[in-house]
Amino acid sequence: MNISVAILGATGYTGAELIRLLESHPHFDIAHLGAHSQAGKRAGEVLPGISGELASTVLAASDASIPDHVQLVFSALPHGAAAESVKIALDSGKKVVDLSADFRHKSHDTYREAYGAEHPCPELFDEAVYGLTEFSRSDVVNARLVANPGCYPTSTLLPLVPLLRGGVLNSEQIIVDSKSGASGAGRAVKTSLLYCEVNEGLSAYGLPRHRHAWEMEEWASGFGQQHVSIRFVPHILPMSRGMLSTLHLSGDKPETWHNILSQAFAHETFINVLPEGQLPSTQGVKGSNRCDIGIAVIGTKQAVVVSCIDNLIKGASGQALQNANVMFGFGEAEGLSTTALWP
Ligand X SMILES: NC(=O)c1ccc[n+]([C@@H]2O[C@H](COP(=O)([O-])OP(=O)(O)OC[C@H]3O[C@@H](n4cnc5c(N)ncnc54)[C@H](OP(=O)(O)O)[C@@H]3O)[C@@H](O)[C@H]2O)c1
Catalytic site positions: 151
Contact call for residue 244 and ligand X (CB under 6 A): no
User: Which has the closest alpha carbon to 159: 51, 280, 78?
Assistant: 280
* Chosen residue from 151, 271, 293, 305 binding ligand X by CB under 6 A: 151
Rounded to whole angstroms, how far apart are CA atoms 88 and 66? 10
Encoded one letter per residue, x for contact with ligand X by CB under 6 A and - for no contact, window 105-144 reads: ----------------------------------------
Contact call for residue 153 and ligand X (CB under 6 A): no
- Which are the contacts of 175, defined by CB distance < 8 A and separation ≥ 6? 230, 231, 233, 247, 248
Report the Cα 141 to chain-centroid distance in Å. 18
Contact call for residue 188 and ligand X (CB under 6 A): yes
Q: Residue 180's beta-bridge partner residues?
A: 236, 243
Question: Which stretch in 9-17, 136-144, 170-178, 255-263 sits in contact with ligand X by CB under 6 A?
Answer: 9-17
Contact call for residue 184 and ligand X (CB under 6 A): yes
Nearer Cβ to ligand X (284/315)? 315
Whether the Cβ atoms of residue 8 and residue 85 lie closer than 8 Å to each other: yes
* Chosen residue from 14, 133, 171, 323 binding ligand X by CB under 6 A: 14
Contact call for residue 81 and ligand X (CB under 6 A): yes
The helix (H) or strand (E) run that includes residue 84 is helix 82-91
Whether the Cβ atoms of residue 246 and residue 306 lie closer than 8 Å to each other: yes
Nearer Cβ to ligand X (307/311)? 311
**Residue 226 beta carbon to ligand X: minimum distance, rounded to whole angstroms:** 26
Residue number closest to ligand X, CB atom: 12
Strands (E) in the chain, as ranges, are: 3-8, 28-34, 70-75, 95-98, 129-130, 145-147, 174-181, 203-204, 230-237, 243-250, 271-273, 291-298, 302-309
Enumerate binding residues for ligand X (CB under 6 A). Answer: 9-15, 35-38, 62, 76-79, 81, 99-100, 150-151, 183-184, 186-188, 311-312, 315-316
